[in-house]
Structure 1
Amino acid sequence: MKIAIIGAGATGLTAGWKLSEKGHCVTVYEKNDRIGGLTSVVPVGDDLLEIYYHHIFTNDTVIIDVIKELGLEKDLKWYEPSNVIYINEKIYPFTSPLDLLMFKPLSLISRIRMGLMVIHAWFIKDYLAIENMTAREWIIRHGGEECYRLVWEPLLNSKFDFDSDKISATWIWNKFKLRGSSRGKNINKELLGYMDGSFIKIYNKIAERIKANKGEIRLNDGVTEISKNYDRFRVRSQSGTEEFDSVIFTASPERLSYVIKGMGRQYLDSLRKIKYKANICMILELSESLMPNYWMTVADRDIPFVLVIEHTNLVKNHKYGSHIVYLSRYLDITNELYGMDDESIKSLFISGLKKIFPDFKEEWIKKYHINRTRDAQPVVTTGYSRLIPDVETPMKGLYLTSMSQIYPEDRGQNYAILSGLEISRRFPAVEE
């Protein structure tokens, strides 16, 4: 079959790789000038760095297996992170259960309740039983009002903007479950994985496999229209129009609703019910280290970002020649911050950084990068399972597979790759 794949992120590339292995003729369309999607990279020093922060967990078995299959396992390294939280203008350790018990901003009873809440989440098997309850209601019920107000309310607000009160308990449950299962037998120790030379090594290797199998990857070739005439699809892109037997769309459902033609209004409306939050991520190349920790969660409404990640405090094998810090902010696309120019965002973020780290000096900044994406985080509202579109669309031969459909799991490379593997299994191998 002649198959068009829209999007050269982890899902699209994985699907293209496996389908081309089966003997199908694959064309991958990508609107940007590079592959990888959210794992795209920029050169930093003598190395490559993802434009958005990334790591994997020990229980991300799908991506680990793919790394092995591609012969890249020697490049995957495991590191023990040090995590902190900034709250009430102070920094507290926030890595282990012991840190939670010693977390002074909360009363002793609230600390105990929050710990029990996390443990309770690990034992929940039926996530549908809690998806109609908001995260706010669930946290207050199990962790208490103080726990919610001081820790989780500012975090939910900074992640989901004005939709924070609509977020399902399933989303926060999944976060607790993920971090618990990634610790294995030693509950006090967590390991995070990173690839020497960045995760783009995986996707470059996959792209090589696609091309070796006579597939094609078209960069700077965004798709503007998909239509069907009898049993053939017409894909219109910046480079022209081409016909295919089948189409796999890997961007958000809402994006599909704007390029597909000939689909009923009811279906298009259903695609637009799933919303995403955007993200602004600033990378700082610094001459000095900002903090001794890898990950800082910022639980403060007055700080314009929610995460401070000193990447080089986790990753040891690198050639950046600098200390690398990510500052990340989730927001609605309508938020005026999203439309600000780079210099204004830099100024705002640096002012927030100085509040947390009074000793920080702007002279430490050797270089900065600001990246934006519209579709960073699906908004997992109550009753979310009823909103998820099927992978098979009403138009036979057109498939939709996106991060919004991996529920109850949250976005991440592991599940993006899994989506690509699963969609490829729907197509039989070509007989010799």
Structure 2
Amino acid sequence: MRIAIIGGGISGLVSAYRLSKDHKITIYEKSAEIGGLLSSYHRKAYSIERYYHHFFSGDRAFLHLLDELNLSDTILWLKGSTGTYQNGTIYPLTTPLEILLYPHLSIFEKFRLALFTKKVKHFDLSHLDTISAEKFLTEQLGEKIYRSFFRPLLNSKFGQNAEKISAAWLVSRVAIRSDRSLGGERLGYLERGFSSFIESLSNTITGYGGEIRINTPVTSIQKAGGEWYINDEPFDAVIATIAPGLLKKTGLDIPDIPYQGAACLTMGLVRPVTQGIYWINLYDDAPYGAVIGHTCFAPRAWYGEDIVYLASYYTGTPPTDLKERMIEDFQRKFSVRSDEILWAEMTRDPYAGPLYLAGYKEQMNMISVPGLVLAGMFSEENYPERSIEGSVRAGLRAAEEIVRMEKNPEVT
């Protein structure tokens, strides 16, 4: 079969990887590099992801795929520390002692928080989908715990939409991050980054004769005479992994779903500035919601400098001077001189991920186009939280659907 795959992100690459041995694959990727949100900057001495990433010990599909690609020996299990920036001070919140010493909650409030994290895996996510995280947490824990402890997390991930996010997302987020010891969260990373994973997928696809067309956006999708036409080129089947809003622009009649944009600033610094903490959510006002000290997580020796991300999420159009505003604010808050910043690059994506607003699941289940296989961040595999694992599983499911279609053409 001639199969077109729209989008060269994780789901698109994984489905192509599964199908390329027995089918003629063509991947359409609008950007200059494949990998989607997992693509990298390629510096002179190293590669570093454009957006911060890690994975979890329970990511079975991803870990199995790494094993298939002979990359299992590059897995590192590292400790992820967390903290918050409030009133000009960084508060570490990784260990029980650090949480106990956190001055913005009383002992009673900390006890309530501990009980909540113990029972979080037992909540019914289907019920919580229609409730905002703000309402749910305020009822469960009180206004002060919500504002002081959880609101910075929601701000860091959803910016101006923080108050509208579903409780299902929040509970899932807390539950998945419970793989921790007294010293911090156990997170996975690949030796020297994820570029080896993307390269291995790409080499396998092209090795079987698949074609990857970068800088090639899809402008039209039509079905005629039993064939699909992508940019007027005929195919037997199509897998679309890009956002439904982008698919609508090609002429498809497809329900839309809310997405948000991301602007991620990556910097090389001469010294560490996050006090050894990997992830800091900001409580104070800033043009970004989180500071991610990558080299407080991955070994600094790989890079020869300290790597920091500033993460900002938005809807609509971000300010044209956002990069400058982020750097200026970061320098002021973290006491960084201009000559201590070795380089700074910003990547923006207006369709960086779904907005898990209250009621999201019902909208997600409406996304379909007869005869077209859909997979991506909007898929069920990425509900109620998008991840590398979810995108891998979405790509594998899409490939399985194509195989079923080939065996039973009448089902299309």
Shift of 1:82: 2.4
C-alpha offsets along residues 101-120 of structure 1, whole Å, 9 cap, x if unaligned?
33211122222222222222
Q: Which residue type is aligned with residue 7 of structure 2?
A: G
User: Where do residues 289-328 of structure 1 align in structure 2 (5 Å cutoff)?
Assistant: 289-316=272-299, 318-328=301-311
Residues 3 and 389 of structure 1: CA distance in aligned 2, closer, same or farther (over 3 Å)? farther
Structure 2 equivalent of residue 244 of structure 1? 235
Cα distance between partner residues in 1 of 2:200 and 2:235: 25
Equivalent residue for 2:324, pick from 347, 350, 364: 347
Cα distance between partner residues in 2 of 1:188 and 1:313: 14
1:112 aligns with 2:111: yes
3-state SS of 1:38 partner: helix
User: Where do residues 235-274 of structure 1 align in structure 2 (5 Å cutoff)?
Assistant: 235-236=230-231, 241-261=232-252, 263=253, 268=254, 271-272=255-256, 274=257
Cα distance between partner residues in 1 of 2:96 and 2:390: 27
Q: Which residue type is aligned with residue 312 of structure 1?
A: T
Query: Would you say the 8 A contact 1:82–1:294 is kept in 2?
Result: yes
Shift of 1:317: 6.9
Structure 1 equivalent of residue 14 of structure 2? 14
Structure 1 equivalent of residue 136 of structure 2? 138
Structure 2 equivalent of residue 61 of structure 1? 60
Residues 4 and 380 of structure 1: CA distance in aligned 2, closer, same or farther (over 3 Å)? same
Shift of 1:378: 1.1
Equivalent residue for 1:408, pick from 383, 386, 398: 383
Q: Which residue type is aligned with residue 128 of structure 1?
A: S
Query: Would you say the 8 A contact 1:40–1:51 is kept in 2?
Result: yes
Residues 134 and 96 of structure 1: CA distance in aligned 2, closer, same or farther (over 3 Å)? same
Shift of 1:65: 1.2
Cα distance between partner residues in 1 of 2:122 and 2:273: 37
Q: Which residue type is aligned with residue 34 of structure 1?
A: E
Task: Tell me how large the CA RMSD over aligned residues is.
Answer: 2.0
Shift of 1:394: 3.6
Cα distance between partner residues in 1 of 2:285 and 2:184: 32
3-state SS of 1:191 partner: strand
Query: Would you say the 8 A contact 1:8–1:35 is kept in 2?
Result: yes
1:381 aligns with 2:357: yes
Structure 1 equivalent of residue 223 of structure 2? 228
Cα distance between partner residues in 2 of 1:317 and 1:34: 25
Cα distance between partner residues in 2 of 1:306 and 1:339: 15
Structure 2 equivalent of residue 176 of structure 1? 174
3-state SS of 1:224 partner: coil
Shift of 1:189: 4.0
3-state SS of 1:56 partner: coil
Of residues 310-319 and 245-254 in structure 1, the stretch that sits farther from structure 2 once superposed is 310-319
Residues 57 and 318 of structure 1: CA distance in aligned 2, closer, same or farther (over 3 Å)? farther
3-state SS of 1:190 partner: strand
3-state SS of 1:309 partner: strand
Cα distance between partner residues in 1 of 2:141 and 2:170: 12
C-alpha offsets along residues 6-46 of structure 1, whole Å, 9 cap, x if unaligned?
0111100000010113x111111111111111111112241
Structure 1 equivalent of residue 410 of structure 2? none
Residues 187 and 252 of structure 1: CA distance in aligned 2, closer, same or farther (over 3 Å)? farther
Cα distance between partner residues in 2 of 1:131 and 1:370: 33
Cα distance between partner residues in 1 of 2:269 and 2:43: 11
Structure 2 equivalent of residue 215 of structure 1? 210
C-alpha offsets along residues 87-141 of structure 1, whole Å, 9 cap, x if unaligned?
23221111134433332111222222222222221222x3112222110111111
Question: Runs ≥4 in structure 1, deviation > 6 angstroms?
Answer: none
C-alpha offsets along residues 246-296 of structure 1, whole Å, 9 cap, x if unaligned?
1111011111111134x3xxxx3xx22x11111111111111221332423
Cα distance between partner residues in 2 of 1:314 and 1:161: 24
3-state SS of 2:370 partner: coil
Structure 1 equivalent of residue 347 of structure 2? 371
Cα distance between partner residues in 1 of 2:332 and 2:114: 29
Q: Which residue type is aligned with residue 395 of structure 1?
A: P
1:285 aligns with 2:268: yes
Shift of 1:399: 1.4
Shift of 1:327: 0.8
3-state SS of 1:223 partner: coil
Structure 2 equivalent of residue 3 of structure 1? 3
What is the percentage of aligned positions where both structures have the same residue?
Answer: 30
Structure 1, gaps ≥5 residues long: none
Query: Would you say the 8 A contact 2:86–2:284 is kept in 1?
Result: no
Cα distance between partner residues in 2 of 1:144 and 1:395: 46
Cα distance between partner residues in 2 of 1:313 and 1:162: 28
1:49 aligns with 2:70: no
Residues 72 and 158 of structure 1: CA distance in aligned 2, closer, same or farther (over 3 Å)? closer
Shift of 1:158: 4.5
Query: Normalized against structure 1, the TM-score is what?
Result: 0.88
Shift of 1:81: 2.4
Cα distance between partner residues in 1 of 2:100 and 2:139: 19
Residues 197 and 159 of structure 1: CA distance in aligned 2, closer, same or farther (over 3 Å)? closer
Shift of 1:48: 0.6
User: Where do residues 76-155 of structure 1 align in structure 2 (5 Å cutoff)?
Assistant: 76-124=75-123, 126-155=124-153
Query: Would you say the 8 A contact 2:155–2:289 is kept in 1?
Result: no
Residues 384 and 93 of structure 1: CA distance in aligned 2, closer, same or farther (over 3 Å)? same
Residues 5 and 276 of structure 1: CA distance in aligned 2, closer, same or farther (over 3 Å)? same
